Amino acid sequence: MTQTHDIRPVLVLGATGKVGARVAARLEALGLAVRRGSRTASVPFDWTEPATWGRVLDGASSAFVSYQPDVGFPGAAETISAFAREAVRLGTDRLVLLSGRGEPEAARSEATAIAAGGRWTVLRSSWFAQNFSEHVFVDAVRAGVIGLPVGDVPEPFVDVDDLADVAVAALTQPGHDGRTYELTGPAALTFTDVARILSDATGRTITYVQVSADEYVAGAVAAGLPRGDAEGLAGLFTSVLDGRNSHTTDDVPRVLVRPATPFADYATRMAATGVWDVSPVEARS
């Protein structure tokens, strides 16, 4: 149940993305006014164009802040800090920041943003399960081979639906100001475990292979990712996926008062949508 009676819109950045789209839909389902922030929104917002920030912040009560291209990339902290200062100056004083676990640059982004003032909640997230169904890895799953420059390191993949539920709680309910949540799934899985679970869910053989950083970048660029982003992600994967984030937390169940969603449930749910289906022609090639 929402505790918010403010009729001003909630600004949702990254509103066409994996997390932002879910946050916007949930807020609207609660009857709240939502202002979508992205380059393709009716009032465009662009992280690289500070002149676009004031227009989307104007009159917004609170904001879900999802940075692009990645909160862990160099330079993110300076940009997020500048955005937070502008938000607080314009009266948008409740901000929920989507962050990443165990990433030094993401931690710097959190600290500089909090220093801007206002009421903050930080959502430090594990790897999204939905990277396998709504991101560069969807084609890898369809092709049956997931390749990453990561060894046998367990990661507690979080379901983005859980993450969006926590974001909405932080935006609409009391008790979350000043909190930093570490959002994980209920169990840590290696990428080999992930491949096995996806195989079970799809009824096809999906394997995991460890590749070099250069091989990962080449594959990601071929899949449509800009080279700079692919290189940045390869850098993050090889540094952050070293076991520092393998432990699970109980922040999702504590905030939502229900268990976090297991990766296998996500896989079964997504397999039923047909997202990983391959056509007979693809299967033969």
Ligand X SMILES: NC(=O)c1ccc[n+]([C@@H]2O[C@H](COP(=O)([O-])OP(=O)(O)OC[C@H]3O[C@@H](n4cnc5c(N)ncnc54)[C@H](OP(=O)(O)O)[C@@H]3O)[C@@H](O)[C@H]2O)c1
Residues that bind ligand X (CB under 6 A): 14-20, 38-40, 45-48, 66-68, 70-72, 98, 100, 125, 127-128, 131
CA distance 64 to 16: 13
- Give the shortest CB-111-to-ligand X separation in angstroms: 16
- Give the shortest CB-55-to-ligand X separation in angstroms: 13
- Give the shortest CB-150-to-ligand X separation in angstroms: 13
User: Strand, helix or coil at 119?
Assistant: strand
Query: Which residue, 44 or 175, has its beta carbon nearer to ligand X?
Result: 44
User: Strand, helix or coil at 254?
Assistant: helix
Q: Regarding beta strands 34-37 and 179-183, do their DSSP bridges make them parallel or antiparallel, or are they unpaired?
A: unpaired
Helix, strand counts (H, E) of the chain:
13, 8
Query: Which residue, 175 or 226, has its beta carbon nearer to ligand X?
Result: 226
- Give the shortest CB-173-to-ligand X separation in angstroms: 22
Residue nearest to ligand X (CB): 17
Query: Which residue, 1 or 51, has its beta carbon nearer to ligand X?
Result: 51
Q: Which long-range contacts (CB under 8 A, 24 or more apart) does 250-254 make?
A: 251/166, 251/181, 251/182, 251/183, 251/184, 252/158, 252/162, 252/166, 252/183, 252/184, 252/185
Query: Which residue, 175 or 228, has its beta carbon nearer to ligand X?
Result: 228
- Give the shortest CB-74-to-ligand X separation in angstroms: 13
Query: Which residue, 42 or 257, has its beta carbon nearer to ligand X?
Result: 42
